[in-house]
Amino acid sequence: MTDTPTVLECDLLVIGGGMAGLSAAGWAAERGARVVVVERAADIGGSAFLSGGVLWTATSPGRMRLYAGGDEALAAVILSTYPTAVEWMRKREIAISPAMPVLHGRGYQIDIIAHLRGCASMVERAAGMIALETETVALVIDDEGVVAGADTAHRDGSVRILAPHTILATGGYQGSPEKRAERIHPNAREMRLRANPFSNGRGIELGQEAGGAIDTGNRGFYGHLVSDSREWGLERHFTGLSQYHSEYSLLLNEAGHRFCDETMGDHCNSYHTVMQHNARALCFWDARIHAEHATRPVVATAPPLDKMALAIESGGQGIVAQQLDDVARFADRHGFDGRQVKATIEDYNAKARTAWERLSPGRADHCQPIDEAPFYALIVYPAITFTFGGLRVNGAAQVLREDGAPVPGLLAAGSDAGSAFGIGYAGGLALAMTFGIVAAQTAGWR
Using one digit for the tens of pLDDT, what is the confidence trace for 62-94?
Answer: 999 988 999 999 999 999 999 999 999 999 999
Can you list the positions of beta strands (E) in 48-207?
A: 54-58, 100-102, 105-109, 129-131, 135-141, 147-154, 157-162, 166-168, 192-193
pLDDT of residue 50: 84
pLDDT of residue 298: 77
Q: What is the rounded distance in angstroms from the CA atom of residue 86 to the CA atom of residue 433?
A: 10
| pLDDT score, position 3 | 60
The pLDDT, as a whole number, for residue 150 is 98
pTM: 0.93
User: What parts of the chain have a pLDDT lower than 50?
Assistant: 1-2
Contacts of 5-8 with CB under 8 Å at 24 or more apart are: 5/151, 5/157, 5/158, 5/159, 5/160, 6/157, 6/158, 6/159, 6/160, 7/159, 7/160, 7/161, 7/162, 8/36, 8/159, 8/160, 8/161, 8/162
Query: In 3-state terms, what secondary structure has residue 383?
Result: strand
pLDDT of res. 1 = 37
- Cβ atoms 62, 156 nearer than 8 A: no
State residue 61's pLDDT score. 95
State the Cα–Cα distance between residues 39 and 41, nearest whole angstrom: 6
